[in-house]
Amino acid sequence: MAAYMITSTLRRVLLVAKHASFQSRCCVASSRVQYSTVYDSNEKTFDKILIANRGEIACRVMKTCKKMGIKTVAVHSDVDASAVHVKMADEAVCVGPAPTNKSYLNMDAIMDAIRKTGSQAVHPGYGFLSENKEFAKRLAAEDVVFIGPDTHAIHAMGDKIESKLLAKAANVNVIPGFDGVVENVEDAVKIAGDIGYPVMIKASAGGGGKGMRIAWNDDETREGFRLSSQEAASSFGDDRLLIEKFVDNPRHIEIQVLADKHGNALWLNERECSIQRRNQKVVEEAPSTFLDPETRRAMGEQAVQLAKAVHYSSAGTVEFLVDSNKNFYFLEMNTRLQVEHPITECITGLDLVQQMIRVAKGFPLLHKQEDIPINGWAIESRVYAEDPYKSFGLPSIGRLSQYQEPINLPKVRVDSGIQEGSDISIYYDPMISKLVTYGATRAEALQRMEAALDNYVIRGVTHNIPLLREIITHPRFISGDITTNFLPEEYPEGFKGHQLTSEGRRELVSTAAALYVSAQLRSQRFLGNLRVSTTPQEQRQWELCVELEKGSHTVAVSRSGSTFTVEVDGVTVEVSGEWNLASALLPVTINRTPRVLQCLSRDAGGDITLQYLGTQFKVRVLSQLVSTLSAHMPEKVPEDTSSILRSPMPGSVVAVSVKPGDVVAEGQEICVIEAMKMQNSLIAAKAAKVKSVHCKAGETVGEGDLLVQLE
């Protein structure tokens, strides 16, 4: 488990890792530098490690443990009994029912699992107990190693109020704000007024965007205090809040640090995390397009100063806000493995989980600061079971009826903890995977990400691939001109999916027509022969009507082998492909441009749903006769949504603010729904009297359930 490298300043022997699968995705070569992680079986660490987590991060830790020859123990709730991380582990222990406070946050049950299995160390992953100092103390009391920093560092950096004071003392740039705990809502309003709007209200013990609100006036401060304190109590068991100045139009750039127990500390370059929704990251990349070498070094050195100030030992992340003038301010330090750590692994060649395990055992770091390279470019897209058309992503639940990762593509890495048949439940984070692509340049990494998203098959739940693909192909993102306000600025009316150009519309119409004809031709054959021997010669030309987005196109289709020539709107489009209707993917060439579409559904009535450039489009292909007759069919009248309030997501009802007979104003809060530990305030669409209430606090509701009806 040693790591070796060759640089212009340091010559060592490069050892080739036995397990090349991780290397092929994370370790790359340039003309100057080659950096490779090697797993040395002679360097003894632990015999058995328990991973106190679930999903993709539990699987990620187990992969490295297996390469290091370490046995692994999984913990799971009863609903996770068949989860991938459970199957991957050498042993598994059930620690309780589905709710996190009764399972993955149940310290007593996890401690029992440690004793039962004889685990020598615990890796907490991220979230859950990863930054819980009490858990670390209990492990230490039983001589079990916590693979992370000591309790002092967890406490100091986990408390945002104390961490800010320590950062100041360590000469780290900090955001102006109030250094104490906000006592109550009126105290919050006074403090916000003293600092000056806008302000950021956030949980002192928080992270991951939970318990965080931006307020631009007194009313928003009152609402933000209430919702943030409730989220903080629910997510972290600590409702303390702090308030600081909100830096408008910032970039969110973080520095990965790595430190050992011998006083050595390194910064492993930066990650750009500015693409966010509700203060939660969506797309990350390393390095940042914005930083110059001087700013990168200054940020890295301040991050190391802070780590050394709290005697930090493990992998950790120091987050900064960076303004347009490259002034940077300390935001927080995450004393754990960060979700987006794979992109750092790609550009440095280091296995951060291996480094954490070595440090926890007491080994010193093998590298110096000058040894740390930036090789190429890596981009990570967080693939969620979310509906991107609702507030850029509200949770979706369901079973993965079909699931296929694009790992057949070069330089693509997928960190996931699910498989076909897995359930995405209401109880846990809706992340499906972390999709990572690597390239020698940013343009190459982006091109690979585009292809990976097109080739990613996810059926059974709503997902955010439409949003991810639009982001990584957006001209502003490609140029690197981004801030944390990217999404609301570019989609002020909300995300609407890919907007078709006239050329894109013709491509989609032509592909749908070709697919329809292919299906018709296949239905006429059995075992390669025509079903009826007296059937006349195969048809080679068709006149069709294709309906798309309330528009109708008359198209003429002709066929030659696997190539279809489609005339639409006076323009000829040539579409060719294998037309394997049983495949989840539909690779085609449209006017010599390769595309990968997905046929999500089709029926005998000509209704086809295609995923094109990431977005789902409903298309109807009809013969000319059927099209003429369909014009006489009655249309379904859409529901009047202004008089009813339905749940936009599955979740639990936290509070109901109205009762029958109440008069509500437009924009007034009706109820609060909590999903995946995030609280969402639902408001009235118009001023009216409440006719009926169909929910109460504590109930579980599904997406689309009727909550309140107005007169």
Catalytic site positions: 336
Rounded to the nearest 5 degrees, what angle is found at the Cα of 449, between the Cα atoms of 446 and 453?
A: 145
**Location of structure tokens 């390769």:** 594
Helices (H) and strands (E) in the chain, counts: 18, 42
- SS3 (DSSP) at 440: coil
Beta bridge partners of 386: 395
Across the beta sheet with 265-277, the strand order is 328-334, 314-322, 251-259, 265-277, 280-286, 377-384, 431-439, 412-416
- And the tokens for 297? 């070094």
DSSP letters, 444-480, are HHHHHHHHHHHT-EEESS--SHHHHHHHHT-HHHHHT
CA separation (Å) from 102 to 78, 79, 106, 426, 697? 10, 12, 5, 15, 20
Identify whether the C-beta of residue 223 lies closer than 8 Å to the C-beta of residue 188.
Answer: no
Identify whether the C-beta of residue 573 lies closer than 8 Å to the C-beta of residue 590.
Answer: yes
Report residue 660: phi and psi, to 5°.
Answer: -55, 135
**Location of structure tokens 């009235």:** 684
- And the tokens for 626? 């059927």
- SS3 (DSSP) at 409: coil
Identify whether the C-beta of residue 286 lies closer than 8 Å to the C-beta of residue 377.
Answer: yes
Secondary structure string (H, E, C) spanning 414-438 = EEECCCCCCEECCCCCCEEEEEEEE
